[in-house]
Amino acid sequence: MNTQPLIPDTDPHRLAAAIGGHNLIAGQLVRAASGRTFPVVNPATGREIASAAFSDAADIDRAVGAAARAQVAWAAMPARKRGALVSDCARLLAEHVEELGRLVALETGKALRTESRVEAGVVADALQFYGGLASELKGESVPFHPEMLTVTQREPIGVVGVIIPWNAPMMLMALKIAPALVAGNTVVVKSAEEAPLAVLRVCQILNQKLPAGVLNIVSGFGPECGAPLVAHPSVGKVTFTGSVETGRIVARTAGEKLIPVTLELGGKSPMIVMDDADLDKAVAGAVAGMRFTRQGQSCTAASRIFVHDKVHDAFVAALKARVDALKMGDPLDEATDIGTIISRGQLAKVLDYIESGRAIPGAQALECSTLPTHEDLRQGLFVRPVIFTGVDNSCRLAREEIFGPVTCVIRFRSYDEAIAAANDSHFGLAATIWTRDLKTALDATKRLQAGFVQVNQNIVVQPGLSYGGIKQSGLGREASLEAMLDHFTHKKTVIFSMT
């Protein structure tokens, strides 16, 4: 445990320069064993803001070793004491919300007011939620035999490997590390190469409260750093959020090792707007659900919006007007609603999808809002949000995860047709239905193939509610008590013979 208190630093450039280039292992900020680093770039300007440790198998081995050594004492601590420490972490993080919001805005290009500061708040909330659940790590008594006392108990798995993406790095990390730690595991996080700084800072803050080695974080690329974490013989469980493609690679290695894995993968989440829906509410729900303020970089993005023929044109006009009203600009400016795409590679991918949509006969690409003109942002990875109309569910735009500010509004005439199209996807993460008719709403909640279904609203993942996908959207659930019990413990059956 560090004794020097960390003072919040709301100058993200200074903070980035100060912590960049490090991993955090056994409570210490350390360089990669090889001494190598890679640049961290501000996507709004194209300028390098810091470096990050380019970690490889040697660093992973060091971090996993520290985690394994710390795990015995951590697991031996009374559960509520672990929970209390995680709750202390939440309180400490709450003091750093502004700092963390600014740092994540700088490295990811997500607007501070609409996204980054909000994410920083959710991190503290997730830790608070799990900190209070420690006493729920209970087993059962089983009426197996009158002369035997039979019980089950929950035990930690050991060292958990956590692999996270860049779109909501702090929040996605918190939803994994909090239940893992409370359940008595220790953790090694592998951050996303595009966003290694804010998550490192979060771990540094948490290490003020946690014993050394309980929470470690390393930065680096997938093949060099992520793969050895999954493959390490002392890692007993891996939890991953990212692409389907990488999820399969992670699952393959976990399969070889026969260790459990949780996967939160992509989505192509449908939204069905019936002709009796409250249209204003539905349009607002589409803007929120599509995460236009995060440039659509969300696994839950409502990227297929099925709208009844009778209200289609009015819906499209209202949606366009709302997205037009969002201001694109410097992510750190309080006036900005929409920041940038994360990286040049993602930008190229998004632009390619937009081109593919324009080439569809009869398709219309409605470009929204306006690009910022400020000189400083000339190299920024900005792209105007696009609403496609005149397309159907069979095009690439409707089948593949774009992870950009691009949505399709698809016209339908019958409810059954809309349900069938919504379910015609290899993803199954989230879905919404918008209608005033209770019977239709209830029927849709039964028929929509997704892990998270909502009626007349489109809220995001919430501590306390199980979250995760079916089909290729993933394996397992996060954010709830059951997620902690099912995915971060194993159940031991114990039988006492009384005879």
- Binding residues for ligand NAI, rule: CB under 6 A, are 163-165, 167, 190, 192-193, 221-223, 226-227, 230, 241-243, 246, 249-250, 264-266, 299, 346, 349, 401, 403
Q: Say which of 89, 203, 225, 299 is annotated catalytic.
A: 299
- Least distance to ligand NAI from the beta carbon of 235, Å? 12
CB closer to ligand NAI out of 132 and 165: 165
- Least distance to ligand NAI from the beta carbon of 140, Å? 34
Q: How far is CA 317 from CA 3, 370, 383, in A?
A: 57, 17, 20
- Least distance to ligand NAI from the beta carbon of 221, Å? 6
Q: Residue 386 in contact with residue 368, Cβ under 8 Å?
A: yes
CB closer to ligand NAI out of 176 and 190: 190
Residue type, 57: A
**Paired tokens of 434:** 């918008």
How far apart (Å, rounded) are the C-alpha atoms in residues 413 and 67?
A: 57
Q: Residue 336 in contact with residue 113, Cβ under 8 Å?
A: yes
Q: Say which of 264, 400, 401, 478 is annotated catalytic.
A: 264
CB closer to ligand NAI out of 350 and 421: 350
- Least distance to ligand NAI from the beta carbon of 173, Å? 11
Q: DSSP class of residue 490?
A: E
Q: How many CB atoms lie within 10 A of CB 417?
A: 13
Residue 299 known to be catalytic: yes
Q: Which residues contact 212 (CB under 8 A, 6 or more apart)?
A: 1, 26, 27, 28, 66, 70
Q: How many CA atoms lie within 13 A of 306 on its CB side?
A: 27
- Least distance to ligand NAI from the beta carbon of 165, Å? 3
Q: How many CB atoms lie within 10 A of CB 308?
A: 21
Q: Which DSSP string do the residues of 258-293 spell out, in sequence order? A: T--EEEE-----EEEE-TTS-HHHHHHHHHHHTTGG
In which residue are the tokens 């672990």 written? 82
CB closer to ligand NAI out of 372 and 405: 405
Residue 368 known to be catalytic: no
CB closer to ligand NAI out of 9 and 193: 193
User: Which residue numbers are catalytic?
Assistant: 264, 299
